Amino acid sequence: MALEFKLSNQTEAGGRRAQIVLPHQTVETPVFMPVGTAGTVKAVPQDVLEALGAQIILGNTYHLYLRPGHEAIRRMGGLHRFISWPRAMLTDSGGFQVFSLSALRKVSDEGVRFRSHLDGSSHFFTPEHSMDVQIALGADIAMAFDECTEYPAERSRAEESLRLTMDWARRSLDHFRAHEEEVVWHAELGGKTQSLFGIVQGGMYADLRRESAERLVEMDFDGYAIGGLSVGEPRDATLEMISEVLPLLPKDKPRYVMGVGYPDEIEQYARMGVDMMDCVLPTRAARHGLLFTSEGRLNIKGKKYAEDQGPPDPACDCMVCRRYTRAYLRHLMHSGEALSATLNSIHNLAYYLGIMERVRKSLPGAAACTQS
């Protein structure tokens, strides 16, 4: 059994509150998912993520496949146990990193040959192999293997890329269904299985996006993601693609927009009916000293904060804002201290998770009217 989706009524704008019942955790949506690339949300200990209310985190298949290796992780009981994270997890397909990080990629209908960014070793990823790796990792949600169409892309290129992604989606799903009972916690969790999401591509061409969504829905995935956004396109293009696709996706399944975004974006998309989002921005920006606050973006390196004894965000109740000053965070950043990344990341994640909590509270409650 894959996920169960309990949906409340939705607002006129499309926003909706729901519960995604996953093998390791029931996730309240709309939800923001911190990114834990190599099995760690960078610089933030797992108990802090729990205290922050993170319900589900991401793992990157490409990174974990290369190091420590998916077979090693399976032997150790799967990714949850390996990193000691008891709540929900999602793994991407590895596709995005193969295209963005690795060297000497060679794409064919069969799959992608690439060289590791770590040691130059040669690897071949196919939809089937991505499924095998993700089943070995054993996250609650796995993603179909896709090609993230670059931006900008000519129409012919976007069409060809979409053809590949649709073909790979079919192969991903077939292989996944044939092997879904092999996940390491299958028996332990009473016969539950992972869920597989399809990924809508099509570049910035609305008709290709619609075609992609319709074909994926026909295949009947457990949930649907919109990929290939936040790749450099203007924000109104992002919004247009999401607006075109959402109405075509089934109401009774989760909808996930991958790799977005700024605080106002994730609120906007959540209110349009997007259930799940992930982004490295809160943690990556944190490591560069950029804090997201109720007063806007704050670059903690600024000279004006040298003796500022206020909290990073006066409206924030997170463990960093309760204890530390802007002056101290600035000092840590300037001194190159490890604590800088930790504290900045904790605040930014608290800010992102807080946005989603506020959005959830403002949407019609899931308790009164549910469907599964």
CA–CA distance from 141 to each of 89, 134, 293 (Å)? 7, 9, 31
To the query of whether residue 119 is one of the catalytic residues in this protein, the response is no
Binding pattern to its own copies, positions 275-314, x when CB under 8 A? -------------------------------xx-x-----
Please return the burial class of 65, using the count of CB atoms within 10 Å of its CB with bins 0-12, 13-18 and 19+.
buried
Selected range binding its own copies among 27-35, 212-220, 335-343, 362-370, rule: CB under 8 A: 335-343
Site residues for its own copies, window 340-369 (CB under 8 A)?
341-343
Q: What tokens does 79 get?
A: 């990714």
Options 140, 146, 278, 313, the catalytic residue? 278
CB of 26 to its own copies, least distance (A): 22
Cα 65 from Cα 176, distance rounded (Å): 17
Regarding 157 and contact with its own copies (CB under 8 A), the answer is no
Question: Looking at 47, 92, 174, 236, which residue is catalytic?
Answer: 92
How many residues lie near its own copies (CB under 8 A)?
38
Q: In 10 A of CB 303, how many CB atoms?
A: 7
Give the nearest distance from C-beta 331 to its own copies in angstroms.
5
The two tokens of residue 316 are: 């924030």
Out of 4, 45, 106, 315, which residue is the one contacting its own copies (CB under 8 A)? 45
1 near its own copies, judged by CB under 8 A: no
Could you give the string, one character per residue 74-113, with x where binding to its own copies holds by CB under 8 A and - elsewhere?
A: -xxx----xxx-----------------------------
- Phi, psi of 350, rounded to the nearest 5 degrees: -60, -40
- Our answer to whether residue 47 is catalytic in this structure is no
In this chain, which stretch among 44-52, 100-108, 140-148, 179-187 interacts with its own copies, using CB under 8 A? 44-52
Tokens representing 231?
Answer: 């790749």
Residue that the structure tokens 């790799």 belong to: 259
Taking CB under 8 A as the binding criterion, the range among 27-35, 45-53, 237-245, 248-256 that sits at the site for its own copies is 45-53
Dihedral sign from CA coordinates of 264, 269, 271, 274: negative
Instruction: Go through the chain and tell me how many residues it has.
Output: 372
- Alpha helices, DSSP H only, in the chain? 46-52, 61-66, 70-75, 79-83, 95-100, 127-137, 155-179, 206-219, 235-245, 263-272, 281-287, 319-323, 326-334, 338-362
Of the candidate residues 52, 183, 332, 353, the single one contacting its own copies (CB under 8 A): 332
Which residues are tagged catalytic?
Answer: 92, 278
Binding site for its own copies (CB under 8 A): 38-40, 42-47, 63, 67-68, 72, 75-77, 82-84, 306-307, 309, 319, 323-325, 327-328, 331-332, 334-335, 337-339, 341-343
